[in-house]
């Protein structure tokens, strides 16, 4: 306690802040890279005129609230006021579209990763580049705006991601970590820059008063300094005036990159699964894939620029969260109250008692659309036959299984068509909070043992704090070496395997899931 207090007083700690889909989290780590304080703020995206968005005001208020919450935690634990740190860094949900003019005015509301209105642009660019360009990528949003002849397009001076925007407000620097940048526009993993041939191809599609390379943030590798906290940036973070400027900033990263760091999955033949509001699996490749799998496999990079194959689904925990909230209402209606964590553990734990295939039940968790199943809107639904085994255990197992359906479709390409081999898959995120349940369901879905790290529960905020630590402590080491030596040596790891019966059970559910997609399409069509 005394040593940690001294480190805080001397400004020897490191700060990481991640803006997730539903929570902004701030984590303070000590010189041993261990979390010693945290703060947070809950927020939600808004559907405005058919666009999923967060306002700039919500971003600023949420960031300040999370930082203030961290300061309160520091004060409570150590009786110290947090005035400075050795370094800090920002991460956020990847992709999306924030477009600004020369005066830094936001030209259109922030279009987040959840928006799938860019189908035409993504398809055209994927065909042009012969490279997978998903709907959620920044370049898809920009090109769709061009196709739609949106008025703001000629006025654009720069585009960025959420992490890039916050970093700009803190530092005045228009840049990104290469992992986040790889979700804006394709990266050449040899040069560690945007792919020049594809930039040239894009420029042939349109005529505007700007060049794309001038709009995009400069990509930086992990360990490179990305400016310092300005006086204006310090007040943006802490309007009280307590937190000091001049702090070193690491490159801002996306949640995919921080997830890789938090699970020690940046080396080749490693992988991780991040499962929360959305779910995605990241596999660090030994070699390039044999072909492009548009709409199925994304290609991004680690924070130090290695090629990564990503299978991504927009929907994961949101629908079963809604069901658990309903069950909570039922309890309150009959005069009972159960702590949220206990309710989650009890209900999700029932899934372990269910039939291997979920008892013939079927659910779709599509709060938003899913590209891989060619559904661009979502309607959550639950379906069963009269003879299905309709029990609580099977219902909960089905909700967990369906959260992994789209993910598995993408992973089948890597495992079966490309023969990708991995040494380990590590899971993190809310899906794994209930002991053993998330791991068992994921292991059944991916027919691969799934590990969790006790430390990974800190999530992406810890991951971005570690990247800020790497900036200060790299000592001519690679990112993988730094993580192995300074962070994860002796880390507690739990590995869960699925039985053959459990794997076959998920396969049976997946067959039912694929065959029933017409039901989901009908729901989208008729429930307007």
User: Phi/psi at 269 (nearest 5 deg)?
Assistant: 70, 15
pLDDT in tens, 111-134: 998 888 999 999 999 999 999 998
* Angstrom distance (rounded) from CA 406 to CA 370: 8
In a domain, 448, yes or no: no
The number of distinct structural domains making up the chain is 1
Q: For position 428, what pLDDT does the model report?
A: 83
Residue 429 pLDDT level (bands cut at 50, 70, 90): confident
In the beta sheet, which residues pair with residue 90? 17
- For the chain, how long is the longest CA-to-CA vector? 67
Say which range, 76-85, 243-252, 257-266, 504-513, has the weakest mean pLDDT: 257-266
Distance in angstroms between the alpha carbons of the first and the last residue of the chain:
57
Q: Tell whether 430 is covered by a domain.
A: no
Contact status, residue 260 vs residue 98, Cβ threshold 8 Å: no
* CA neighbor of 273 nearest in space, from 316, 307, 303: 316
As a whole number of angstroms, the distance between CA 119 and CA 135 comes to 6
Label residue 116 exposed, middle or buried (CB < 10 Å: 0-12, 13-18, 19+): buried
Q: What percent of the chain has pLDDT over 90?
A: 88
Alpha helices (H) along 30-104: 56-78
Its domain, for residue 363, covers: 318-402+501-526
Residue 160 binned pLDDT confidence (cut-offs 50, 70, 90): very high
pLDDT interval class at 455 (50, 70, 90): low
Residue 515 lies in a domain: yes
pLDDT category of residue 460 using cuts at 50, 70 and 90: confident
Structural domain includes residue 337: yes
Give dist(CA 17, CA 30) in Å, integer.
15
Alpha helix ranges (H) inside 334-458: 340-350, 392-402, 405-412, 437-446
pLDDT band at 459 (very low <50, low <70, confident <90, very high): confident
At 221, give phi and psi (nearest 5°). -85, 155
**Choice among 52-56, 226-230, 387-391, 448-452 with the minimum mean pLDDT:** 448-452
Amino acid 56: pLDDT? 98
Measuring CA to CA, which residue among 9, 96, 104 is closest to residue 54? 96
Report residue 457's pLDDT band, with 50, 70 and 90 as the boundaries.
low
For 206-231, the pLDDT digits (tens) are 888 999 999 999 999 999 999 999 99
**pLDDT value, residue 295:** 82
* Domain contains 91: no
- Strand, coil or helix: 41: strand
Residue 1 CA to residue 138 CA, distance in Å, equals 44
Examine residue 328 and state whether it is found in any structural domain, yes or no.
yes
Q: 314 near 275, Cβ under 8 Å?
A: no
pLDDT of 469 > 90? The answer is yes
Q: Which residue has the tokens 């585009």?
A: 159
Domain membership of residue 334 (yes or no) is: yes
- What's the whole-number mean pLDDT along residues 274-283? 90
Instruction: Compute the distance between CA of residue 118 and CA of residue 135 in angstroms, rounded to an integer.
Output: 5
By DSSP bridging, strand 158-160 and strand 98-100 are antiparallel
pLDDT, mean of residues 103-111: 97
Question: What would the mean pLDDT of 338-367 be, rounded to a whole number?
Answer: 97
Q: How far apart are CA 470 and CA 479, in angstroms?
A: 7
> What does pLDDT average to over the chain?
95
Radius of gyration for the chain, computed over Cα atoms and rounded to the nearest angstrom: 22
Q: Once rounded to an integer, what is the mean pLDDT over residues 234-261? A: 96
Residue 456: is its pLDDT beyond 90? no
Q: Tell which wins on pLDDT, 423 or 70.
A: 70
């Amino acid at each position: 306690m005394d040593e940690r207090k001294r480190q805080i007083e001397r400004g020897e700690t490191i700060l990481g802040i991640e803006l997730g889909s539903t929570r902004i989290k701030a984590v303070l780590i000590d010189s041993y890279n261990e979390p010693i304080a945290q703060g947070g703020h809950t927020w939600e995206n808004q559907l405005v005129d058919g666009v999923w968005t967060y306002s700039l005001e919500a971003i600023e208020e949420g960031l300040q609230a999370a930082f203030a919450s961290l300061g309160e935690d520091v004060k409570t634990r150590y009786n110290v006021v947090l005035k400075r740190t050795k370094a800090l860094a920002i991460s956020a949900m990847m992709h999306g579209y924030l477009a600004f003019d020369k005066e830094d005015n936001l030209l259109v509301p922030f279009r987040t990763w959840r928006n799938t209105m860019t189908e035409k642009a993504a398809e055209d660019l994927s065909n042009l580049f012969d490279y997978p360009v998903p709907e959620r990528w920044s370049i898809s949003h920009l090109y769709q705006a061009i196709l739609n002849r949106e008025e703001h397009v000629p006025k654009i001076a720069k585009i960025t991601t959420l992490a890039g925007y916050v970093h700009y407000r803190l530092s005045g620097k228009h840049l990104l970590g290469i992992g986040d940048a790889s979700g804006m526009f394709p990266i050449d993993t040899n040069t560690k820059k945007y792919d020049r041939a594809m930039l040239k191809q894009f420029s042939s599609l349109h005529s505007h008063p700007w060049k794309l390379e001038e709009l995009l943030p400069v990509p930086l590798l992990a360990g490179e300094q990305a400016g310092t906290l300005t006086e204006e940036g310090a007040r943006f973070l802490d309007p009280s005036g307590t937190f000091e400027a001049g702090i070193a900033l690491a490159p801002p990263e996306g949640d995919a990159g921080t997830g890789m760091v938090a699970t020690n999955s940046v080396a080749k033949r490693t992988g991780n699964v991040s499962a929360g509001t959305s779910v995605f699996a990241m596999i660090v490749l030994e070699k390039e894939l044999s072909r492009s799998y548009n709409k199925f496999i994304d290609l991004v990079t680690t924070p130090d620029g290695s090629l990564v194959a990503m299978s991504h689904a927009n929907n994961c925990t949101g629908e079963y969260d809604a069901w658990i909230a309903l069950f909570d209402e039922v309890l309150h209606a009959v005069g009972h109250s159960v702590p949220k964590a206990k309710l989650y553990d009890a209900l999700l734990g029932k899934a372990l008692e269910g039939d291997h295939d979920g008892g013939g039940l079927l659910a779709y968790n599509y709060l938003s659309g899913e590209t891989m199943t060619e559904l661009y809107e979502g309607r959550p639904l639950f379906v069963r036959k009269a003879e299905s085994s309709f029990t609580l255990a099977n219902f909960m197992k089905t909700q967990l299984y369906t959260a992994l359906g789209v993910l598995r479709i993408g992973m089948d390409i890597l495992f079966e068509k490309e023969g990708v081999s991995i040494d380990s898959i590590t899971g993190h995120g809310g899906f794994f909070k209930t002991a053993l349940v998330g791991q068992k369901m994921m292991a059944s879905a991916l027919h691969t043992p799934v590990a969790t790290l006790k430390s990974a529960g800190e999530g992406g905020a810890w991951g971005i704090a570690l990247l800020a630590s790497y900036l200060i402590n790299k000592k001519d080491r690679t990112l993988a070496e730094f993580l192995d030596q300074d962070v994860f040596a002796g880390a507690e790891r739990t590995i869960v395997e699925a039985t053959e019966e459990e794997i076959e059970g998920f396969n049976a559910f997946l067959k039912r899931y694929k065959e029933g997609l017409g039901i989901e399409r009908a729901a989208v069509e008729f429930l307007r």
